[in-house]
Structure 1
Amino acid sequence: MAKAYVFTRHGGPEVEALVDREPPGPGPGQLLIEVRAAGVNPVDFKLRDGYRRPGQAPAELPEVLGSEAAGVVVRTGPGVEGFAVGDAVFGSTLTGGYAEYTLLPVSVAAHKPGGLTFAEAATLPVAAATAYDGVRQLALPAGATLLVTGAGGGVGSSAVRLALHEGLRVIGTASAGKKDVVESLGAVHVASGPGLAERVRAAAPDGVDGVFDLVGGEPLRDVAELVADRTKLITAGGKQLVAELGGSPVARARDAATLTAVAGLAARGVIRPAITATFPLARAGEALRTVEAGHARGKVVIEVKA
């Protein structure tokens, strides 16, 4: 038996539990890994609440929480090529990341570079890969100005670093309490809250060439007017609203090639993950509360095994 942190039905934190369960067996094209670390993301509690991604099957309860993990391959399924027992890997999980063992489909798995810790690698499949996909989708030329809303979080901080690496000028919105975080990334900080659009105009008198939104809601509506070309308005936080505003959601690749590219950038320090809190598996609920409260700075990680 192995430990896993699950939700037993849809609801709030009261439906979560640490349980014993048999490790899953790898099917065709799958890796069974011993998890060393798992990233914590807002989508984790949204799935617990009842959200399902388009085309995603209903939850098979109890369902293990977590969408990304890094660890060591202990078994490979039929037809697997390019991976072997003992390899250090990371990727998007098939059976949840808050667990001692999980499955990674090879289609969304990659080798962990030697220069990254397991904790750092575990933060890449959701936050860093979303940032990578979004910056590529915008395809702004060097010298252009990009506005990133929610720049102090996991996706936002990676988006800022990637954009700066591409030669863009970046304005990042975040709470006043995250001003130091945003500025340490190299972006111009603009405080979030009422009057956001006017503050951005003051910081960018010549306007912005693109908006990468990670907040949704009224902040997205406020900043949409700042970009004339709505094909350069994308969001990972307000998909329905952005369509009304003439923009589009981040087009996620969710493939091994993207993970390999992101890992290479991380190994070179371009998007080195900013891990601000770690928790053992026994305190997985506390880790999720930290993210669910909306005040996490950088990335929160569950370290399953040292």
Structure 2
Amino acid sequence: MSKAFGFTAFGGPETQELLDRPVPVPGPGELLIAVRAAGVNPADWKMRRGLFSRELPLPAVLGYEVAGVVQEAGDGAGGFAAGDAVFGIALAGGYAEHTLLAAANTARKPEGVSFVQAAALPVAGATAYDGVQQLGLEPGRTLLILGIAGGVGSAAAQIARARGITVLGTASDPNRAYVESLGATQVRYGEGVAERIRAVAPGGVDGIFDLVGGADARAAAETLTDPSKLVSTADSATAAELGGSYIRRTGNGATLAALAELVASGDLDPNITATYPLERAGEALAEVESRHAHGKLVIEIG
């Protein structure tokens, strides 16, 4: 049997508990891993509340992001073998001693990257990488990130800076120091945001990565030199109306490998602020669900 942390009914934290389940068996193209670390994300509590789907068989194990060591490779598992250190999106829940990964969407963990760091990359980090890649801005161009202080925004800022792109980002004034630590310029969000953007970028901005949608996205779009250079994770309809596009996710191992190399080179800091053992996974998720968590929380296992 294998220990895991999940939920027995859709609802609030009262439905969560430690579970015992059989060790998953890898099918074709899948890897069984012994989990060493699992990232904590808002998507985890949203899954528990049934906001994605209520068709999920119960009890269900929480968590999407994992890093660990391959125990067994299924047929056609892309050259992975037992003993490989890997990371990716869990197919069978990530808050667990064991889970499954799809080999095609898995990357090897470089020696210079810890399991905890690797487990912080597959959701927010990969979303940020895909967004910056989709915009395709050249070095020297200016990128505006709407909602820069969050997990996706802060990763996108670092990825863009590593490519020689000048970064601006909307955030509240208390987050100014944090935004500046990312090598970016903070612009206060809210009414009048377009004027404040023009104050620091008089010629407008070359790209917008929209993580918030709504009025700020509409206002900021007025400062964009090319309407097609807007990519949104927040609102596909508004993005299309403004001349931009919704984010196209790759979800593959190549994206994860590129992120890991950025961490190894020091160009990307996953900003991990706390780790928790599996037995305290509920505390970690409560911090994220309360929206009081700063930086990335990771569960360490084994």
Shared fold (TM-score, shorter chain, > 0.5): yes
Pairwise CA distance, 1:11: 2.5
1:49 corresponds to 2:46: no
Cα RMSD after superposing both structures: 1.9
Partner residue, 2:200: 203
Deviations 1:272-301 (A, max 9, x none): 311112222122122122222334332121
Q: Is the Cα contact below 8 Å between 1:29 and 1:79 reproduced in 2?
A: yes
Deviations 1:172-193 (A, max 9, x none): 2222232221111100012234
**Gap change, CA 1:2 and 1:94, over 3 Å in 2:** same
1:29 corresponds to 2:29: yes
Q: Is the Cα contact below 8 Å between 2:77 and 2:104 reproduced in 1?
A: no
Pairwise CA distance, 1:37: 0.5
Unaligned runs of 5+ in 2: none
**Gap change, CA 1:194 and 1:9, over 3 Å in 2:** farther
- Residue aligned with 1:300, SS: strand
Q: Is the Cα contact below 8 Å between 2:41 and 2:288 reproduced in 1?
A: yes
Unaligned runs of 5+ in 1: none
In the superposition, the TM-score normalised over structure 1's length comes to 0.92
How do residues 15-164 of structure 1 correspond to structure 2 at under 5 angstroms? Answer: 15-52=15-52, 58-164=55-161
- Residue aligned with 1:230, SS: coil
* Distance in 1 between residues matched to 2:276 and 2:237, nearest whole Å: 34
1:229 to 226, 231, 236: 226
Partner residue, 2:163: 166
Q: Percent identity?
A: 56
* Distance in 2 between residues matched to 1:300 and 1:192, nearest whole Å: 26
Which range moved further: 204-213 or 12-21? 12-21
Pairwise CA distance, 1:195: 3.2
**Gap change, CA 1:298 and 1:239, over 3 Å in 2:** farther
Q: Is the Cα contact below 8 Å between 1:220 and 1:238 reproduced in 2?
A: no
1:242 corresponds to 2:239: yes
Pairwise CA distance, 1:98: 1.0
* Distance in 2 between residues matched to 1:9 and 1:57, nearest whole Å: 10
1:271 corresponds to 2:268: yes
- What letter corresponds to residue 14 of structure 1 in structure 2? E
In the superposition, the TM-score normalised over structure 2's length comes to 0.93
Q: Report the number of matched residues.
A: 302
